[in-house]
Amino acid sequence: MKSWWGTRPNDKGPYYKAVKWDLTPAIIAAIEKNFTRFNAESQLKVLDLFALNQISASSLKLEGVDTVFSALEASRPTPQHINVLASVAANAKRPWLLRVKAAKKLFIFQYWRDHRPYKIRQGELSDKAFKKAKQKAAIKLQKKQDLAKIQRLLAVKALLDILGQWSLDLAEDAVPKEQVRGINALINDYWTAQITHSTDVTELFAMVNGLSDSSATLAWKKILFSSYRISGQRQLNAAPLIEDKEAIRNPGYYRAIEDLYLLDDKFIARTKEYLDWDNIAVREATADIMALYEAKLKVDKDPLKGLSVTQAGMDKAAAYALEHKGDVALGAKLFNRQSCITCHAVNNAAQQKGPYLGAAGSQFKRDFLIESVLNPGAVIAQGFPTYTLKNKGNRGRATAIGFLVNEDNTNYYLMNIAGHNQTVMRERLASKEMLQISQMPPGLVQGLSLHEFASLIEFLVSMK
pLDDT digits (tens, 9 = 90+) for 400-419: 888 777 777 888 888 776 66
Quick one: pLDDT at residue 56? 65
Reported in sequence order, the residue ranges of 329-447 that DSSP labels E, i.e. its strands, are 386-391, 399-407, 411-415, 421-425, 429-435
93 shares a domain with 72: yes
243 shares a domain with 119: no
252 shares a domain with 291: yes
Among candidates 157, 76, 155, 81, which has minimal Cα distance to 114?
A: 76
The answer to whether the CB of 440 falls within 8 A of the CB of 354 is yes
Reported in sequence order, the residue ranges of 154-273 that DSSP labels E, i.e. its strands, are 228-230, 233-234
Q: What CATH number is associated with residue 422?
A: 2.30.30
318 shares a domain with 284: no
The answer to whether the CB of 222 falls within 8 A of the CB of 110 is no
Note whether residue 48 is domain-resident: no
**SS3 of 407, please?**
strand
455 shares a domain with 325: yes
291 shares a domain with 189: no
- Name 419's Cβ contacts closer than 8 Å, sequence gap at least 6: 194, 343, 351, 353
Note whether residue 24 is domain-resident: no
122 shares a domain with 206: no
The answer to whether the CB of 351 falls within 8 A of the CB of 419 is yes
Note whether residue 51 is domain-resident: no
116 shares a domain with 71: yes
Cα separation, 450 vs 260, whole angstroms: 19
Note whether residue 12 is domain-resident: no
Q: How many CB atoms lie within 10 A of CB 190?
A: 20
216 shares a domain with 75: no
Q: Could you say which DSSP state residue 449 is in?
A: B
Domain that holds residue 113: 66-193
pLDDT string in tens for the chain (464-residue length): 344 433 444 444 444 556 677 888 888 888 778 877 777 667 767 766 776 666 666 667 766 556 787 788 888 888 888 988 999 999 998 889 889 999 999 999 998 877 666 677 777 677 787 788 778 888 888 888 888 888 899 999 999 999 999 999 999 999 999 999 889 999 998 998 877 776 788 888 889 989 999 999 999 999 888 876 543 444 444 556 666 677 778 899 999 999 999 998 888 998 999 999 989 999 999 999 999 999 999 999 999 999 999 999 999 999 999 999 999 999 999 998 888 887 787 877 667 677 788 888 888 899 999 998 998 877 776 667 788 888 876 554 567 888 777 777 888 888 776 667 778 888 888 888 887 777 777 788 988 999 999 999 999 999 98
448 shares a domain with 336: yes
Picking from 171, 193, 215, the residue at the C-terminal end of a domain is 193
Cα separation, 336 vs 229, whole angstroms: 9
- Residues 42-64 as b/e (b if ≥16 CB within 10 A, e otherwise) read ebbeebeebeeeebebeebebee
Query: How many domains does the chain divide into?
Result: 4
Quick one: pLDDT at residue 410? 83
How many CA atoms, within 13 angstroms, populate the side-chain half-sphere of residue 282? 16
Quick one: pLDDT at residue 170? 95
Note whether residue 26 is domain-resident: no
> pTM of the prediction?
0.75
Q: How many CB atoms lie within 10 A of CB 382?
A: 9
Backbone angles phi, psi at 364, to 5 degrees: -130, 150
Note whether residue 18 is domain-resident: no
Quick one: pLDDT at residue 318? 94
Quick one: pLDDT at residue 249? 84
Quick one: pLDDT at residue 118? 64
H or E element in which residue 277 lies: none
Q: How many CB atoms lie within 10 A of CB 227?
A: 19
328 shares a domain with 228: no
213 shares a domain with 275: yes
Cα separation, 32 vs 39, whole angstroms: 14
